[in-house]
């Protein structure tokens, strides 16, 4: 039996048409799309497959869309013969992807996950409109110095994505100031991100507080598959930990580098990225090149899975 970890992508991985082959070729995946349409009360599947792109890119649609496609891919994998030879030891996801991890681990039901994501995205959009902000990816710059610049510019670190890729967040003028300082110190690349707000910053605290108020302990359960939280890159072993960490995740830094390193330190050398895109595979290659990362975006990817003995 091969031990693996499942990892799930976050917002930004979406694209029109994602998951269509899963819908057409896997009955287990198709059932997830249909359950999403029923729960949400509109045809999310049509938006995913046909757009328009600007609609799919909006937070209100892209978050449930990525979650739905990811769980559809997971169910297709779980119903396949390839799943019979592996044991899932850990699950984790990048930001929004943590909900995919929680669902795949059996901690929350799919419909409950959709409800939480719909409310989470709504609260985040409200916070973004009340306090507009920006985000930018910083490539190839010393993290200690970056943190000092953020402190001086009064912005924050949103994501520790890879050793050479960190995302900063905050009020637009403060992020601009940080970018100016980074450029002056020779930072080779800063990429402004096309997002609607300063996610994973203190500007999202109102969203976190509203989200905490709607969480219900009975919707969560601890299972045999620990989910590594973005907040501190450690497994959650009690429901009260999850209830505390999910709101905190909205306004604190995503510890993705430490998450990957923690899982690898437990002896896991195979990870399966489940859902749209290959962003996590690229990040993990930079964090720990020894980890074998494979992707599941369509049924053919499941057939192509090969795990080291």
| 119: enclosing H helix or E strand | helix 110-130
Specify the pairing of strand 227-228 against strand 189-192. Answer: unpaired
In which residue are the tokens 């306090």 written? Answer: 131
Provide DSSP, 44-92: HHHHHHH--HHHHHSHHHHHHHHHHHHHHHHHHHHTSGGGGGEEEEEEE
Determine the Cα–Cα distance for residues 58 and 54; give it in Å rounded to an integer.
7
DSSP string, 182-228: HHHTT-SEEEE---SS-TTSGGGHHHHHHHHHH--GGG----SSPEE
Residue in 70, 95, 121, 201 annotated catalytic:
95
Q: Is 79 a catalytic residue?
A: no
Active-site residue, 201 included = no
Residue 128: both structure tokens together: 């973004």
User: From CA 6, how far away is CA 259, in angstroms rounded?
Assistant: 12
Q: Is 135 helix (H, G, I), strand (E, B) or coil?
A: strand
**Which single residue is written with the structure tokens 């009260």?**
240
* Calpha distance 30→203 (Å, rounded): 38
Residue of 26, 70, 121, 200 marked active site? 200
Distances (CA, A) of 24 to 27, 48, 65, 153, 281: 8, 14, 17, 50, 25
Q: How far apart are CA 166 and CA 149, in angstroms?
A: 13
Who's near 144: CB < 8 A, 6+ residues apart?
A: none
| Residues with a known catalytic role | 95, 200
């Amino acid at each position: 039996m091969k031990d693996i970890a499942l990892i799930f992508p976050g917002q930004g991985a979406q694209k029109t048409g994602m998951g269509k082959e899963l819908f057409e070729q896997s009955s287990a995946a198709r059932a997830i799309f249909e359950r999403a349409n029923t729960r949400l009360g509109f045809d999310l599947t049509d938006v995913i497959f046909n757009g328009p792109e600007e609609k799919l890119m909006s937070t209100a649609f892209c978050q449930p869309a990525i979650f739905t496609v990811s769980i559809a891919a997971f169910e297709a994998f779980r119903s396949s013969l390839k799943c019979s030879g592996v044991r899932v030891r850990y699950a984790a996801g990048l930001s929004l992807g943590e909900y995919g991890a929680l669902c795949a681990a059996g901690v929350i039901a799919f419909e409950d996950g959709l409800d939480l994501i719909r409310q989470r995205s709504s609260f985040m959009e409200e916070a973004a409109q009340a306090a507009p902000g920006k985000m930018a990816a910083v490539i190839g710059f010393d993290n200690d110095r970056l943190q000092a610049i953020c402190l001086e510019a009064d912005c924050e670190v949103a994501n520790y994505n890879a050793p050479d890729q960190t995302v900063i967040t905050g009020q637009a003028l403060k992020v601009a100031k940080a970018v100016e300082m980074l450029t002056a110190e020779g930072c080779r690349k800063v990429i402004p991100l096309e997002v609607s707000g300063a996610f994973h910053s203190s500007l999202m605290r109102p969203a976190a507080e509203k989200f905490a108020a709607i969480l219900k302990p009975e919707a969560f359960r601890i299972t045999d598959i620990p989910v590594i939280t973005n907040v501190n890159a450690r497994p959650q072993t009690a429901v009260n930990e999850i209830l505390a960490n999910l709101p905190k995740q909205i306004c604190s830094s995503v510890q993705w580098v430490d998450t990957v390193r923690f899982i690898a330190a437990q002896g896991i050398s195979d990870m399966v990225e489940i859902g749209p895109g290959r962003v996590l595979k690229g990040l993990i290659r930079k964090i720990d090149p020894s980890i074998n990362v494979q992707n599941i975006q369509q049924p053919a990817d499941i057939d192509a899975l090969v795990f080291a003995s």
